[in-house]
């Protein structure tokens, strides 16, 4: 009887060791769950970005307004017979250009 109790005790200690310190133990499982959560957050962010890019692609393929807006904002283009006004902030330091001071 004492032999069975001793064997069961050793088995219990071995199982507890595997549970807490062995491969696939509780600490490793918790770490993997945290990693899964962070990867899922990144996946969600990238899926949202893909949806926005898909919408922009569809707009560019079908809508002339998007092309015109992009040409105006990124290339500074204007329509024929239009006048372009540029407003310069009086509070800006004239010695600072593009975030760098001279």
Residue 78 lies in a domain: yes
Report the range out of 1-15, 41-55, 71-85 with the highest average pLDDT.
41-55
Residues 6+ apart with CB under 8 A from 71: 77
Residue 34 lies in a domain: yes
Residue 1 and residue 9: Cα distance in Å, rounded?
12
Residue 2 lies in a domain: no
Domain count along the chain = 1
Residue 96 lies in a domain: no
Q: What are the pLDDT digits (tens) for 28-55?
A: 889 999 999 999 999 999 999 999 999 9
Residue 100 lies in a domain: no
Alpha-helical segments (H) within 1-102: 2-20, 26-62, 64-75
Residue 98 lies in a domain: no
């Amino acid at each position: 009887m004492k032999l069975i109790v001793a064997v069961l005790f050793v088995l219990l200690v071995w199982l507890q060791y595997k549970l807490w310190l062995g491969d696939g133990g509780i600490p490793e499982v918790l770490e993997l769950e945290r990693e899964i959560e962070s990867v899922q957050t990144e996946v969600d962010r990238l899926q949202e970005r893909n949806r926005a890019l898909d919408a922009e692609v569809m707009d560019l393929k079908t809508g002339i307004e998007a092309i015109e807006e992009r040409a105006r904002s990124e290339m500074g283009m204007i329509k024929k017979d239009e006048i372009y006004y540029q407003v310069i902030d009086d509070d800006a330091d004239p010695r600072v250009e593009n975030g760098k001071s001279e």
